[in-house]
Amino acid sequence: MPPLIDVRDLKKTYQLGEVTVSALAGVTVSIERGSYVAIMGPSGSGKSTFMNLLGCLDRPTSGQYLLDSIPVEGLDRDHLAEIRNQKIGFIFQNFNLLPRMSALENVELPLLYQDHDTPDADDLAEHALMLVGLAHREHNFPAQLSGGEQQRVAIARAMINKPEIILADEPTGALDSRTSAEIMNIFERLNRTQGITIVLVTHSDEIATHADRIIGFRDGLVVSDAPVIHSRQTSEKVVAVLRVPVEVPQ
């Protein structure tokens, strides 16, 4: 079976006036179905650009990107939108819930942009909320929910279209450590029990150790790529692994 994500020599440059900035300088990564990957790196290392490309929110300047065997690097706006709708669930640091809609309506939102009708939208959304433990809050508005609850609504929203992959950009960045742990538990459950591929960006070593694999970025390149040894006592070793630069593919 081919990998879910197969990225080859992906490059992205921006034109800032006269200057050409290279945000991604040729990244080759493949991510297997059902894996749980953490992406780390200092700001400006290209990890956000990489996530935007993975999420089909942006198109690369050059290189190849096969998502579920579909070459997506050349698709137009609306095709990319369709792929985002069908295959990708997004989790943002700031939740990005629509404030005027109830939790239930927020969760149903991706169904609105499907090509076909979903008559049982309410049931699906209720089920998704139940999975994140918020069945009783479905009629609350985002402002009436705590940060952790809002992020759980966002996860339910990401899950409703049964995506292949969840892309989470610092999902716990705005949460305290206890709520962060809850959110990480949900991710872990989704990954282990439902086999959903998760790629998450984080600054926290602690969060990163929940993943199976950690990819490090610097200056638009992958500088480390290593599996996590799953032993809770050895998280320091894992971090040590991170600091060892891997051979950079040219």
Partner 1 sequence: MKKLRQSMRIAFRALTMNKLRSALTMLGIVIGVASVIATVAIGSGATQRIQDQIASIGSNIIIVIPGSTTTSGVRLGTGNAVTLSEADAKELPAQCPDVALAAPLVRGGAQVVYGNNNWATIIYGVTPDYLTIRELSVADGAEFTQQDVDGANKVAVLGKTVVDNLFGGADAIGQTIRIKNVPFAVVGILTPKGQSSQGQDQDDVILLPISTAKRKVIGINAANADAVNTIMMQAKSGTQIPAAQEEAQALLRQRHHLQTVEADDFTIRNLQELFAAQEASSSIMAIMLAAVASVSLVVGGIGIMNIMLISVRERTREIGLRQAIGAKTRDILTQFLVEAVTLSIAGGLVGIVLGIAASSVISRLAGWATAVGPGAVLLAVFFSGLVGIGFGYYPARKAAYLDPIEALRYE
Contact positions vs partner 1 (CB under 8 A): 52, 55, 57-58, 77-78, 81-82, 84-86, 90, 92, 96, 98, 100, 109-110, 112-114, 117, 157, 161
45 vs 85 by CB, closer to partner 1: 85
CA-to-CA distance for 26 and 233, rounded, in angstroms? 35
86 vs 140 by CB, closer to partner 1: 86
92 vs 174 by CB, closer to partner 1: 92
For the chain, the first-to-last Cα distance in angstroms comes to 26
The least distance separating partner 1 from the CB of residue 109, rounded to whole angstroms, comes to 6
CA-to-CA distance for 27 and 9, rounded, in angstroms? 5
The least distance separating partner 1 from the CB of residue 55, rounded to whole angstroms, comes to 7
81 vs 181 by CB, closer to partner 1: 81
- Closest to 88 (Cα-Cα) out of 65, 116, 61: 65
The least distance separating partner 1 from the CB of residue 7, rounded to whole angstroms, comes to 18
The least distance separating partner 1 from the CB of residue 39, rounded to whole angstroms, comes to 17
- Which alpha helices (H) appear in 33-175, and where do they start and end? 47-54, 77-87, 103-112, 121-131, 147-159
Strands 88-91 and 165-169 come out as parallel
